[in-house]
Amino acid sequence: MSDTDFIPQMRPLFGADERAELLSYLDEDGFFTEFKRTEAFEAEIARYTGARHCVVVNNGTVSLTLAAVALGIGPGDEVICPDYTMIATPNSVQMLGARPVFVDVEPDTLVMDVALAERAITPRTKAIMLVSANGRAPRAGIAAFEALSQRTGIPLIEDAAQSLGSWYDDGRTERRHVGRAGRIGSFSFSAPKIISTGQGGALITDDDALAARLRKLKDFGRSGGGNDVHDSIGWNFKFTELQACVGLAQMRQLPDRVVRKKAIWRRYAEGLAGVSGYRLFDHDLSLCTPWFIDGVAERRDELAAHLKARGIGTRTMYPPIHRQKAYDLPGDHPVAERIGRDGLWLPSMIQLTDAQIDRICGEIAAFYAA
């Protein structure tokens, strides 16, 4: 790639390893639907995260819907969600007829504020959906949400879609992978995520009964493998072996990607240290893997246009969800509103070179120096 080629904000990376996995499957079998490769992929995610069970589904939105169904959430129930997140988080429960209730996030972590979450609880609240934004833990630690959940009996669901490769240090002897503090944790393997299967999602839990429920829910409510006996309602949210082949190859690359993502963030932090117009959100790299390079920019839209004209892609961060036309709710969430106004993701793909990062930082510095 030459120095003047367009640098996209994000692009998935697949290569020889994925190709070899797919070809070996095609030489061996032709059912395509989930089977041994999928089991191996689930086992790999369970091993990596330290969870007892992993159940994969076709994306990281229905994974949340299934988590909510498995926890007994239905029409009329309220689910507390952050106002700053990908819209899939609230939509996943909206699909069930449940009502997302939006709460502002912390200005430094972009994770839901636990005190505000507590204030939003009503007798109808049936779950708290915690999003570890870009791999981050809440300021008061995940322990604050666990304590809230214990005190109120309201289950915690972790939308850890952006957090594969990030850990919590919650004062235990061993750090825990993000997604393990909730009753159920959810991941996404959509194209921009740290590993991708094109589309895909995974649920992790340590609860045997919940894992069994999730497996039934994704397979028509079948009472046993391959039979047509149904003692409960279920749908079809199954995976495919082709996705699992890609996922197995991607999981082998995950440890290196974690190292590289951290190095990318560090290089940006150094390159932008003297640039006051763009401020990166901080990361504790000993625990957290920055999935996207996130920050707030003065004159954000002008900066994005300046970079685009110089062959550098960016992406504006999520607008506050309560203001999106899809919801259009009253509410005062100043942090989410500030991110919606000033937040800008910089190029964040795993294949980004140091020279490209230096060029991006140079262009940002030049924009603010002008």
From the list 37-45, 81-89, 170-178, 303-311, the region that binds ligand PLP by CB under 6 A is 81-89
**CB of residue 186 to ligand PLP, shortest distance in Å:** 7
**CB of residue 48 to ligand PLP, shortest distance in Å:** 18
Residues 189-218, interacting with ligand PLP (CB under 6 A): 190, 201
Residue labelled with tokens 């072996």: 241
Residues 84-113, interacting with ligand PLP (CB under 6 A): 85-86, 88-89
- By beta-carbon proximity to ligand PLP, the closer residue of 201 and 271 is 201
- Closest C-alpha to 295, from 112, 20, 107, 148: 107
**CB of residue 20 to ligand PLP, shortest distance in Å:** 25
- The secondary structure of 75-137 as a DSSP string is TT-EEEEESSS-THHHHHHHTTT-EEEEE-B-TTT-SBPHHHHHHT--TTEEEEEEE-GGGPP
Pairing state of beta strands 184-188 and 156-159? Answer: parallel
**CB of residue 68 to ligand PLP, shortest distance in Å:** 13
**CB of residue 170 to ligand PLP, shortest distance in Å:** 21
Q: Please check whether residue 51 is in contact with residue 185, taking contact to mean a CB–CB distance below 8 angstroms.
A: yes
The active-site residue out of 36, 126, 193, 308 is 193
- By beta-carbon proximity to ligand PLP, the closer residue of 254 and 365 is 254
- By beta-carbon proximity to ligand PLP, the closer residue of 110 and 364 is 110
Retrieve residue 359's tokens: 């060029």
Residues 145-174, interacting with ligand PLP (CB under 6 A): 159, 161-162
Residue 202 to residue 325: CA distance in whole angstroms: 29
DSSP letter at 331 equals -
193 is catalytic: yes
**CB of residue 94 to ligand PLP, shortest distance in Å:** 13
Q: Please check whether residue 55 is in contact with residue 68, taking contact to mean a CB–CB distance below 8 angstroms.
A: no
Residue 229 to residue 234: CA distance in whole angstroms: 12
Residue 241 to residue 69: CA distance in whole angstroms: 25
Residue 99 to residue 84: CA distance in whole angstroms: 16
Residues 277-306, interacting with ligand PLP (CB under 6 A): none
- By beta-carbon proximity to ligand PLP, the closer residue of 199 and 223 is 199
Q: Please check whether residue 176 is in contact with residue 170, taking contact to mean a CB–CB distance below 8 angstroms.
A: yes
243 counts as binding ligand PLP under rule CB under 6 A: no
One residue of 61, 197, 205, 314 binding ligand PLP per CB under 6 A: 61
- By beta-carbon proximity to ligand PLP, the closer residue of 303 and 339 is 339
Retrieve residue 304's tokens: 């994005």
Q: Which residue lies nearest ligand PLP, judged by its C-beta? A: 60
User: One-letter amino acid identity for 320?
Assistant: P
- By beta-carbon proximity to ligand PLP, the closer residue of 292 and 367 is 292
The Cβ of residue 37 has, within 10 Å, a number of other Cβ atoms equal to 24
Retrieve residue 204's tokens: 């992790």
Q: So which residues are the catalytic ones?
A: 193
Give the footprint of ligand PLP on this chain (CB under 6 A).
59-61, 85-86, 88-89, 131, 159, 161-162, 188, 190, 201
